[in-house]
Chains A and B, each alone.
Chain A
Amino acid sequence: MAEDLVLDTAIRDWVLIPLSVVMVLIGILRYFVAKLMRSFQVPDHKIVKEGQVIVRARNLRAAANFIPPKSFRPRRVYFSNEENGLLFVPKGQAQNAQAQMFSDPNMAMDMMKKNLSMIIPQTLTFAWVNFFFSGFVAAKIPFPLTQRFRSMLQNGIDLSTVDVSYVSSRSWYFLNLFGLRGLFSLILGEENAMDDTQRMMQMSGFGFDPSKSLASEKDGLDIVQHEWALPKFEHRAEAVLKKLVR
C-alpha cells in the first residue's frame, strides 16, 4: 500500500497554489483593514497619569542600584508611603475604575472589532475550501503519520486504504494557516504576525487594570534590596580617562 499515487497536474495548478495565494492575500488585506479601522480613542486623563506613575516606579526599580542609597530611599518612600504615596490606592476607588473600564463603549467596540477581523476571514475561507475543494486528494505530506490522524486529515476521501500521507485540501488549509504566520511576520513587519494566541494575550492584558498594577508595583518596590553597584566609579572613571589620554 505504499505505492506512489500519481496525482493530476491540474490539482497543483488549481488547488494548492490558489489556496496559498488566497490566504496570503487575505492576510495582507486583513492587516491593512485593521490598520485603517483602528480608531484613535482619546485617552482618559486619569488613566494616563496612573500609567505614567507606574512607568516611573518601574524605572526606579530597574535602576535602583545606580543611585546612591541616600537618594533611593526617599524616592521609594515617595511612591509607597501609606498615606499619600502615589502608588497607594484605596480599595473602593479601585473597583470603580474597573467597572468603568468594562462598560466603556469604545473599548468594547475595539475588542469586538479585533475579534471579528480575526474570526470572519478564517471562517469564510474555511467554508469556501470545504465547498469547492472537497472530495479529492490534494497533497502528499512528506512524513508519515499514524492511523489516528486519518479522520482529521482525509475528511473528504472515503477510501480507507489510501496512505495517510495523502491529505485532503482541508488539511492543506490548516497547514497554510499555521505555516504562513512566519511568512507574514517577515512581509508585514513586526507586529502583525497573525498569531492567535499572542492576540488573545494582548487583549486580556490590555484590560488595563490600574489598581492591580499599582499594588503590584508597590510590592515590587518594597521588595527591592538596594545594592550600591557603583562604589568605585571614581577610580574606574580615572582609569578610563587615563587610557584615553595616553
Chain B
Amino acid sequence: MTGHSDSSSSEKKSNEEMNDVPVFSAENMQNNMKVIYYSRTFMSIIGGVIAGILGFTGFMGFVFYFLVMTITSIGLIAKAKFSVHLYVDSWNRIILDGFMGGLMSFVLFWTFAYDIVHIF
C-alpha cells in the first residue's frame, strides 16, 4: 500500500502499513487524540443542552449521555472510514477515550438548560 496523504480531513493517518511491525507517527496520533477529545467535549455540551430542553430527569438523563457518547463514537469511526487501526493504535482509544471526561460539562449544561426552560 503506497502512502497517500489524507490532508483534507482533520484526522491524519498515523500508521502506514508498509512494515511488518506497525509504526505510529506519534505526532499524527496525538493530533487524532486531540480531535477525538474536542469532538467528545463539543457533543457532550450540545447533548446537555438538548437533554435539558427535552426535560429529561434523573436516570434518563444519564442514559441520554451514554447515547450521545455512543453516537459520537460511531461518528468518529465512520469518519475514519471504518479502518480504525490506521488512525489510532487500538479500538479502545476511539471508543472509550474521554468517555467520562465530558460528563461534568454535560451535567452543567443539562442543569442550565433544564432550569431555564422548565423552572422559569
Contacts and interface: CB of A to CB of B under 8 A. Distances in A.
B92 interface: no
Interface in B80-120: 101-102, 104-112, 114-116, 119-120
A243 B1 CA distance: 9
Nearest to B38: A186
Interface of B: 2, 18-21, 34, 37-38, 41-42, 44-45, 51-52, 56-59, 61-62, 101-102, 104-112, 114-116, 119-120
A26 B103 CA distance: 22
Contact of A141 (B44, B106, B111): B111
A178 B48 CA distance: 14
B101 to A, nearest CB: 7
B19 A181 contact: no
A142 interface: yes
B44 A182 contact: yes
Interface residues of A, number: 32
Contact of A190 (B18, B34, B52, B56): B34
A23 to B, nearest CB: 10
Given A5-B119, A140-B111, A144-B58, 7 more contacts: A12-B116, A139-B115, A142-B61, A143-B61, A179-B104, A180-B108, A243-B2
Interface in A123-149: 139-144
Given A140-B114, A143-B58, A12 B42 contact: no
B67 to A, nearest CB: 16
A236 interface: yes
Nearest to B23: A66
Contact of B2 (A12, A20, A65, A244): A244
A20 B108 CA distance: 10
B19 A229 contact: yes
Contacts of B51: 142
A140 B110 CA distance: 11
Contacts of A230: 19
Contacts of B41: 182-183, 185-186
A47 to B, nearest CB: 24
A175 B111 contact: yes
A183 B38 CA distance: 10
Given A142-B57, A244-B2, A179 B119 contact: no
A183 B21 CA distance: 39
A240 B16 CA distance: 14
A52 interface: no
Contacts of B104: 175, 178-179, 181-182
B21 A229 contact: yes
A31 B115 CA distance: 30
Contacts of A141: 107, 111
Nearest to A172: B111
Given A179-B109, A181-B105, A140 B119 contact: yes
B112 A16 contact: yes
Interface in A170-194: 175-176, 178-183, 185-186, 190
A65 B37 CA distance: 32
Contacts of A244: 2
